Amino acid sequence: MDKRRVVITGMGAVTPVGNSVEEMWKNIRSGVSGIGEITKVNKDDYPVSVAAEVKDFDPSNYIDRKDARRMDPFVQYAMVASHMAVEDAGLEINESNAERTGVWIGSGIGGMGTYESQFETFQQKGYRRVSPFFIPMMIPDMAAGQVSISLGAKAINSCTVTACSSGANSIGDAFKVIQRGDADVMIAGGTEAPMTKMSFAGFASARAMSLNEDPKTASRPFDKNRDGFVMGEGAGILILESLESAKKRGAKIYGELAGYGSTGDAYHITSPAPEGDGAARAMKQAIEDAGMQPSEIDYMNAHGTSTELNDKYETHAVKTVFQEHANKLAISSTKSMTGHLLGAAGAMEAVISLKAINDSILPPTINYETPDPECDLDYVPNKAREQEVNAVLSNSLGFGGHNATLVFKKYKGE
């Protein structure tokens, strides 16, 4: 059976560098960082002092204020980004297509802020004072659930939880739903709101986060002096649609989702497999799924967390997969500007990948100052570059040994 072609017809984003796709992309291509001092928890309680927080976020254009109070921020971010994406796609969900329109939105940790605040209430005042909305506010699937309810999407409604691969896995899983004919349209992506006391405590205790006190230079992927990731938050949403459905309604097309790879390291709960073995297998799988050769990939949006092992092993994985093409491949980590959005990272980076294709711009890796002999490829240092982009590979690698790779390409008709 021929696999159905899947295109992207709408995009939405809530990020540390802007609360719309256009604002985010303007800042990304200009090398503007969204990282600042932590304001959402007391930074004096931690060795970490910087984060990439969402700023000036107002969900009231899309969510009733009363309803918003019953949603954790990770759900609010997904709701706003999903409504933006549906609007952008010019998609009307009604009786004629609701049962062929689904939702698949991932989150790594869900409503941890809600859990913390309700647990404090329980400790101080007992169970009767815990909100009856506590469980549905907290569980990670509720972003997909609320988006489905709000927009009336009645096909498959799911959520992938694979740590920092959640957003990319959700897009890939939704892609396969359309390919095999189980839906015509999927609202897919990832969302995260980890600016909470215990999130900072856990990651700081694990010594995974940057201790650099200068917000603008703290995230420095592939740089020799990198010292950990910077926590970020937000959501990225794509409207995936069968090519047939998109053409039938005359939708604009941002690009084609051509390949998806997903593998397990089977190695360690937090460390990536040596030499990036799992990442390499995911990349190979995605390129093969797209029916392409490694040499056809023009740009790679790396996972590039700014941690010692991730950046080194991801670089090794690229060399394994791309061989001699590795030295010609443009690579960047936009986490240098956005921080690491955990379960939303791959979804936001999918949006960035599609903008790179549409605008023929390679976004930069900022703060790349001191080359690392272990990371010696072309990371598009510090300044965006104009170049035709026909195909992009985007990586997401998560705790638990989850690896997800997406391949997007320019839409060129039949």
What are 54-113's pLDDT values in tens digits?
999 999 999 999 999 999 999 999 999 999 999 999 999 999 999 999 999 999 999 999
Residue 222 has pLDDT above 70, yes or no: yes
Which residues does 168 contact at the CB level (< 8 Å), separation at least 6? 190, 345, 346, 347, 349, 350, 394, 395, 396, 404, 405, 406
Residue 253 has pLDDT above 70, yes or no: yes
What is the H or E stretch that residue 335 is in?
A: helix 335-338
Proportion of the chain above pLDDT 70, given as a percent: 100
The predicted structure's pLDDT at residue 374: 96
Topology, domain 7-248: Peroxisomal Thiolase; Chain A, domain 1 (3.40.47)
Question: Could you give the dihedral angle defined by the CA atoms of residues 43, 48, 53 and 56, in that order, rounded to the nearest 10 degrees?
Answer: 30
- For the chain, the residue count is 414
How large is the C-alpha radius of gyration of the chain? Answer: 20
Please say whether the beta carbons of 272 and 309 come within 8 A. Answer: yes
- Which ranges in the chain are annotated with CATH 3.40.47.10? 7-248, 260-409
Q: Which amino acid makes up residue 329?
A: L
Residue 1 has pLDDT above 70, yes or no: no
Arithmetic mean of pLDDT, 317-342: 98
Arithmetic mean of pLDDT, 120-147: 97
Arithmetic mean of pLDDT, 37-52: 97
Question: What is the distance between the alpha carbons of residues 377 and 312, in angstroms, rounded to a whole number?
Answer: 11
Arithmetic mean of pLDDT, 148-175: 98
The predicted structure's pLDDT at residue 2: 78
Average pLDDT, the chain: 97
Residue 413 has pLDDT above 90, yes or no: no
First-to-last alpha carbon distance for the chain, in angstroms, is: 18
Topology, domain 260-409: Peroxisomal Thiolase; Chain A, domain 1 (3.40.47)
CB atoms near residue 3 (< 10 Å): 13
Question: What is the distance between the alpha carbons of residues 195 and 212, in angstroms, rounded to a whole number?
Answer: 18
The predicted structure's pLDDT at residue 268: 95
Question: What is the distance between the alpha carbons of residues 15 and 141, in angstroms, rounded to a whole number?
Answer: 20
Question: What is the distance between the alpha carbons of residues 240 and 155, in angstroms, rounded to a whole number?
Answer: 13
Helix-strand-coil percent breakdown of the chain, rounded to 5? 40, 20, 40
Please say whether the beta carbons of 17 and 24 come within 8 A. Answer: yes
Which DSSP letter does residue 5 get?
P
Question: What is the distance between the alpha carbons of residues 409 and 406, in angstroms, rounded to a whole number?
Answer: 10
Active site residues: 164
The pTM score is 0.98
